[in-house]
Amino acid sequence: MYGYLPPISLPKLIVVIYERDSASFLAKLADLCCVGWENYVSVRVLTAPNGDTTEYTEEMINEYFDSSSNMIFFQDGLLDEDELKAEHVHYRRCKTTKTMIQAITPELMSLNIHWKSYAESQWSKSTLRSAKPEEWVQQFAELGHRDIGRHLLKSLRIITDAEISEAFKPTPYDDIGVRVAHAYIHEEEPGSSSIAIKNILEHMHPQRVFPIDLKNPETFACIDADILYIYEDGLWSGVEVVRRLQVLSQSAALMSSNLQIVFKYCVTCDAGLSAARLFSVRNSAGRFQFPSAKPGYHFAFLQRGVNTRFPDLEDRSDESIRTAIDSVIEPYAFASDIIWGAGKDAGVGVCRDIGAQLARRFLERKAQNDNLDGDPAEVAAEKVDRIRLGAMSFASTIVFASSIPKPVLPVMWLDGDVTLNTRTVKWRPLFWDARRTGAVQN
């Protein structure tokens, strides 16, 4: 699991505590903060103070100024307070770690590494906002599981349109020695991000952007280029891109040309890249390329240690590769042992139960809308199972500002009555994509 907070090399808060108190303090800090807080808080653990604390105090003062830190927190007797005052250092002396946690909390909030301020800062970037983070967590509390809501928000990530646009910017030397063209996949599915991508590309490349219609076998006949960049916002499971590659590989106009296609994504993950690249290697090596997203925009959904080439798999068919990838998915929201500890299984179970109830109602509404006579339609249990933790059980908490990827946990974007242990809540999601789920219910 990676891709949360942008890493920084210098801590903004310095904490000096006794070893006897360190374990409980670090556990509480981890419980309060989102993943990545260690980049912002430097915790120094001392067995006992030396008789003269001047030398160590000077070391902390140097670190404070070298790092442009905001504050030093320390327990009684570990630093020389007069030295800190003389150097005009912002500090707070605390007798106990309980007091220190209370004192440090406002600083964690201002740095947006406290779970609540972090979630609010991410949520505010979305154009699809529904329930506020604290209101959303309160629903878990009403069902007896407040901590599950808090923990899920620690991994929330909103990718803005500006970030997508930045990822799509060409580098200065992309067209050296080659003719380059730019394209997007034209889609009509509700919730599709193709319109936003089209707008971004046409702003960057006036007169040079092609819509790719996969239903038209002659789409590539008129593209006069050596390299075609096809842009999409995110590569997740790889199911969709492999389906597209299968269609592209059957295009006579494309396969008889020398055109190379580079798929460019703002966000990628290991599962999707593995599926796409393995297809390309098996079917048309060199024709299709899939660069990974920039650091901070590439995420892990596969279990640790998995060989993404699946070299031991004798059957290399698309179906076999798909089954192999799906069998080693690590539900993203629950991947951090630091966040979940012994509560991981309970967290997965609760989200699976709530997600199944929400998913069933969503699929029933969709089936009824698709049914011309408007009659209720039966939804197979397998369909519910496939999305109760997000598509392919990805349990993603990574959301685009103006669209919700299918792998995102349903508890974040579906509504309806939810019952758990005889308690019922009218569930309101964090985000609301009206193109999929209708008008917002206030």
pLDDT the model gives residue 286:
81
Same domain, 36 and 62: yes
Same domain, 19 and 91: yes
In a domain, 71, yes or no: yes
Chain segment 32-78, per-residue pLDDT in tens: 999 889 999 999 999 876 678 899 999 999 999 999 999 999 999 99
In a domain, 419, yes or no: yes
Task: Provide the domain count of the chain.
Answer: 3
Same domain, 169 and 304: yes
What is the distance between the alpha carbons of residues 341 and 438, in angstroms, rounded to a whole number? 37
pLDDT the model gives residue 348:
98
User: 230, 183 in Cβ contact below 8 A?
Assistant: yes
pLDDT the model gives residue 439:
52
pLDDT the model gives residue 376:
63
In a domain, 350, yes or no: yes
CATH no. for residue 244? 3.40.50
Chain segment 231-257, per-residue pLDDT in tens: 999 999 999 999 999 999 988 889 989
Phi and psi, residue 417, nearest 5°: -70, 135
Print the domain residue range for 318.
161-326
Domain boundary among 113, 138, 170: 113
Same domain, 177 and 321: yes
Same domain, 293 and 361: no
In a domain, 283, yes or no: yes
pLDDT the model gives residue 3:
43
pLDDT the model gives residue 379:
87
Any idea which residue has 């990974």 for tokens? 292
Domain boundary among 326, 361, 381: 326
- What percentage of the chain exceeds 70 in pLDDT? 93
Same domain, 383 and 427: yes
Same domain, 106 and 252: no
Same domain, 288 and 389: no
Mean pLDDT (10-residue bins), the chain, 442 residues: 52 95 94 92 86 89 95 95 97 95 97 97 96 98 97 96 94 91 82 79 86 85 91 96 93 90 97 97 89 95 96 94 96 93 96 97 84 70 95 96 94 96 95 70 50
98: tokens are 């309980």
Partners of 14 in beta bridges = 42, 72
Same domain, 314 and 394: no
In a domain, 98, yes or no: yes
Same domain, 265 and 362: no
Domain boundary among 302, 326, 350: 326
pLDDT the model gives residue 369:
74
In a domain, 237, yes or no: yes
pLDDT the model gives residue 374:
59
Same domain, 322 and 345: no
In a domain, 25, yes or no: yes
pLDDT the model gives residue 105:
98
Same domain, 312 and 345: no
In a domain, 2, yes or no: no
